[in-house]
Amino acid sequence: MRTVEIYFDRMVTLCERVRWPVFAGLLVIWLNYVITTIIFLVARSYLWLMLVFHAPSPIIDQARLFATRSWESSFVTPWDWACAQYRFVRLQDRVDVVVSHYKEDLNWLRPFLKKIDHLYLYCKHQESCLIGLPENLEGAKLVVTYLPNEGREANSYLAHIIKHYDDIPRRTVFTLASMKHNWGRYISFLLAFTEFGQPTRHNVNAESLDGIRFFHFNTKTVVALSLGDGYRNARDNVIKLADRQPLNDWMMYRFGRDLLVNSYRCGEGQHGAIFSTDGQRIRRFPKSLYRLLLDDNSGADSMEVGYYMERLWRFMYA
C-alpha cells in the first residue's frame, strides 16, 4: 500500500511540473484541427453583417470572396501544410503540369519549375498568358495553347486530354491557375504534385456521395463567382444551366453508369479540380467520350456542367 501511495505522489508531482507543456501541446493539437474552420466562421459572419447592413456592393463582393476562399481553406490543417512541404522536398521526379489560366499571376509556379517536365499552359486571355512566369523556367518545357474563354477549367483539361490522349505520361497534374490568397487550393496542388506512385484512394461516406449525386443549381439566375485574381465578377456572368439535372442524371446520360458507386475518390487534396492522374487511367474512357464532354463544356463562360466535372474527376480516375 505504501508503494502505491509513493507512486501516486510521484505521478501528481510530475503532472504539476509538466501541466503547462501538456496544456500547450493539447492546445496546439486542437488549433491544428479548428483554426481554419474558425477563420471561415469569422469570414462568413462578416459577410452576413455586410448583407444585413446593406454595405456597398464592392465591400459585399470582397466579403463574399474572402468567405469563399476561407471556406475552401477550412478543409485543410497546418499539419497538412507541413506534410505537403516535406513531400515536396523529397520529390525527385519531374512531372507534367496542365494549367487552366485566365488572367492569374503565375508567380506561384516559380518554386515548382525545377521539378516540372512539361508545363502545359492553356490560356483564355492571350494578353495575360505569361503574366508572372519567370524567364528562367529551370528546365521546364513550356507549351502554350490559346483557348476561348469558356467552359471553366474542365474545358482546358478536356482539350489537353483529347490532344495528348495517346501520349499522356505516367503522371500528370491538372490544376487551376488561381492560387493567390487561396491556401486550400495551394495545398491541394502541393499534395497532387508530390504524390508518389499511384494516387491514393479515399473512401467517401454515403451522405457526401448523395450530396454529389443530387448537386445542381436552381432555376433562378445564379451569378458565377471566380476566385482567380484578374477576374471581374460581373453581375451578368451567370451560370449556364445543364440540359440535365441533377448531376446524377447528367452523369448517367454521359457515362452510362454511376461513377460514385465504388465510393472512392483519388488523391489527397480536397479540391475537386486539382488532381494527379496518369495516361492509363485517362485511357480507361474512350476519346469519343472526352469529345462529348468537351462539347458539353463549351459555348459559355460559366457552365453548370463544369461544376459537375469538378466533382467527378477524382471519381473517374479512382
pLDDT at 54: 84
Residue-wise pLDDT for 140-183, tens only, equals: 999 999 999 888 899 999 999 999 999 988 889 999 998 877 78
Q: What is the CATH number of domain 91-318?
A: 3.90.550
Mean pLDDT of the region 270-278: 89
For the sheet containing 95-101, what is the strand order?
Answer: 141-146, 116-123, 95-101, 172-176, 275-277
**pLDDT score recorded for residue 252:** 96
Please check the confidence at residue 1 and state whether its pLDDT lies above 60. no
Query: Distance (Å, rounded) from C-alpha 3 to C-alpha 7?
Result: 6
Residue 98 CA to residue 28 CA, distance in Å, equals 37
Q: What was the pLDDT predicted at 141?
A: 95
Per-residue pLDDT tens digits for 42-101: 989 988 998 888 888 888 888 888 888 888 788 788 888 888 888 888 888 899 999 999
Prediction pTM value: 0.85
| Residues above pLDDT 90, as percent of the chain | 42
C-alpha distances in angstroms, 137 versus 91, 96, 102, 303?
18, 14, 20, 33
Question: Has residue 287 got a pLDDT over 90?
Answer: yes
Pairing of strands 201-203, 264-266: antiparallel
Q: What pLDDT score does 198 carry?
A: 72
Under DSSP, is residue 204 helix (H, G, I), strand (E, B) or coil?
coil
pLDDT at position 28 is 73
pLDDT, the chain, mean:
86
pLDDT top residue among 90 and 196: 90
Residue whose C-alpha cell reads 491557375 in the numeric block = 177
Query: Is 308 a residue whose pLDDT tops 90?
Result: yes
Between these two residues, 271 and 101, which has the higher pLDDT value? 101
| Residue with the three cell numbers 492571350 | 126
Q: 102 and 127 in contact (C-beta within 8 Å)? A: no
Domain spans of the chain? 2-73, 91-318
Is 215 or 269 the better-scoring residue by pLDDT?
A: 215
Asked whether the predicted pLDDT for residue 33 surpasses 90, the reply is no
Sign of CA dihedral 54, 58, 64, 67: negative
pLDDT of 39 over the 60 cut:
yes
Residue 261 gets which letter from DSSP? T
pLDDT digits (tens, 9 = 90+) for 62-79: 888 888 888 878 878 888
Is the model's pLDDT at 236 over the cut of 60?
no
